[in-house]
Amino acid sequence: MDTTSVRTLIVGAGITGLATAAALGERGDTDYLVLEGDAEIGGYCKTVKKEGFVWDYSGHFFHFKHPEIEAWLRERMPKQRILDVEKRSFIEYKGTQIDFPFQKNIHQLPKDELIDCLYDLYFARAPRELLGKHAPPAPEASASAAESFETMLYARFGRSIAEKFLIPYNEKLYACDLGSLDKDAMGRFFPHADLTDIIRNMKVADNATYNARFTYPEGGAIEYVKAIASAVRPGGVALSETVLSIDLDAKVARTNKRDIRFDRLVSSAPFNRLLATAKVPHDASAYSWNKVLVFNLGFDRKGQKDVHWVYFPDREVVFYRVGFYDNIFDTDRLSLYVEIGFARDAVVDVEATRARVLADLEKTGVTKGHRLIAEHNVVMDPAYVHITQRSIFEHARLAQELRARGVYPVGRYGGWTYCSIEDNIVEARALVASFA
């Protein structure tokens, strides 16, 4: 077997791996190699094109907080038209559409439900029987360990808001017991609102969330990936090459093609898989996640206008969210992504789920006898990692050990976190800046 040597070996040619390579290149360090197990770059930011429809693996929309990062990307995609869209999103609730986020729009509910929500909000507290349900064992239990994502929802918003939307929707998405998740499992992506915000919103609508406006390249999310890849040296990415094992003492990675000696290794592979590949002793039960089955569906004619995505908390509806690409592109044929959450060990029956999806799209009025003319599906596994007290503790502990040995877990899955592509770029740049 061939042996190659490289200063920085990067695992994964998704946003994070490519951004790491680009950042190294920008400081004149070209002694790196990116290994990608797949036959194409992009990771979860790939785009699929069929019969004139443009779809991502799942709806990927972009909201940059760092103008210099957005400018850096745009400079590298001069021929792309970037759409700048003001978000319109709704919740499908008992046959009507309520503005998102639910907790700030309870005044759009029927009067009796509004009273329930307001009353419970005012007297909100976590149900005693839920407190401490999933507290992690000592010694890592912190003072806030008793508060889970589930108890946070009850304590902040009260029973009615929690049980009408926040609990059923997030259970469908995460496909787990929400009592097992850390209270900050969604980080800044959770739309918090207090009593004052909620009351104020009844007269002065302010539904701004982190993604009130978003951008989207006409060619799909892959255009941002290509922009980053344009800053990677020619030959800097090896496709269809999977890291199979890592010898941390010898600093050698074995792939399906060769052995590669490295000084440092930056890995965007899922953290639990990195631990297994590098034979790091660990408790596999600390890591849990969901899978998301995505159907991209193209129909013969237009559907609802003025909406970009809709949330479905109803447990009788198989999907939790549907997005409308045609309203982003302003095109005349309904083009959807439909997302279904599964537990990590669930057997995904794509055909049976597809039939339910098509039936539920009709039932909910998203389609009205539309003819399906193109489709694509993909299972994202992992999709949303379950951020628990235990995963936070174990990730921090083992990532520190790995970093001390020149191995840097990064990205959404290497970092076992919930983040955007911009966060991935920020993290990659900061990591490279920290290298001697």
Contact residues toward ligand FAD (CB under 6 A) are 11-17, 35-38, 43-45, 58-62, 242-243, 268-269, 292, 380, 383, 411-413, 419-421, 424
Our CB check for ligand FAD shows the closer of 35 and 336 to be: 35
Alpha helices in 179-229 (DSSP H): 195-200, 222-229
Q: Minimum Å distance from CB 145 to ligand FAD?
A: 27
Helix (H, G, I), strand (E, B) or coil at 260: strand
**CB closer to ligand FAD, 13 vs 106:** 13
CB of 341 to ligand FAD, least distance (A): 9
Of 47, 31, 12, 75, which is closest to residue 428 (Cα–Cα)?
12
As measured in angstroms, the least distance from the Cβ of 16 to ligand FAD is: 4
Pick between residue 366 and residue 385 the one whose CB is nearest to ligand FAD.
385
Amino acid, res. 305: K
Q: How far is the CB of 163 from ligand FAD (least distance, A)?
A: 25
Q: Which residue, 12 or 158, is less far from ligand FAD as judged by CB?
A: 12
CB of 302 to ligand FAD, least distance (A): 23
* Smallest distance, ligand FAD to C-beta of residue 44, A: 4
In the structure encoding, which two tokens stand for residue 430, read together? 């900061």
Q: How far is the CB of 82 from ligand FAD (least distance, A)?
A: 14
Nearer to ligand FAD, 118 or 421 (CB): 421
**Cβ atoms 100, 311 nearer than 8 A:** yes
Shortest separation between residue 87's beta carbon and ligand FAD, angstroms: 11
> Are 185 and 149 spatial neighbours (Cβ–Cβ below 8 Å)?
yes
Q: Cβ closer to ligand FAD: 23 or 117?
A: 23
* Closer by beta carbon to ligand FAD, 38 or else 171: 38
Beta carbon nearer to ligand FAD, 97 or 242? 242
Shortest distance, position 264 Cβ to ligand FAD, whole Å: 16
Residue type, 239: L
> 20 vs 201, which CB is nearer to ligand FAD?
20
CA distances to 2, 288, 289 from 416, in Å: 33, 10, 9
SS3 35: strand
User: Each residue of 170-196: b (16+ CB within 10 Å) or e?
Assistant: bbbbbbbebebbbbebbeeebbebeee
User: Which letter does DSSP use for residue 108 in this model?
Assistant: G
Smaller CB separation from ligand FAD, 33 or 161: 33
DSSP-derived secondary structure for 322-377:
EEEHHHHHT-SS-EEEEEEEEETT----HHHHHHHHHHHHHHTTS-SSPPEEEEEE
- At closest approach, how far in Å is the CB of 415 from ligand FAD? 8
Q: Which is nearer to ligand FAD, 106 or 246 (CB)?
A: 246
Closest approach of ligand FAD to the CB of residue 135, in Å: 28
Nearest CA to 398 among 38, 140, 129?
Answer: 140
Which of these, 344, 327, 345, lies nearest to 336 by C-alpha position? 327
Q: Counting Cβ atoms within 10 Å, is residue 337 exposed (0-12), middle (13-18) or buried (19+)? A: buried
* Alpha-carbon dihedral sign for residues 152, 156, 159, 165: negative
In the complex with ligand FAD, which residue's Cβ is closer, 18 or 392? 18
Q: Are 320 and 173 in contact (CB under 8 A)?
A: yes
How far is it, in rounded angstroms, from Cα 391 to Cα 13?
Answer: 25
β partners of residue 295: 338, 377
State both tokens at 176: 């787990």
Tell me the C-alpha distance between 29 and 357, whole Å. Answer: 49
Q: What is the closest distance, in whole angstroms, from the C-beta atom of residue 85 to ligand FAD in the complex? A: 12
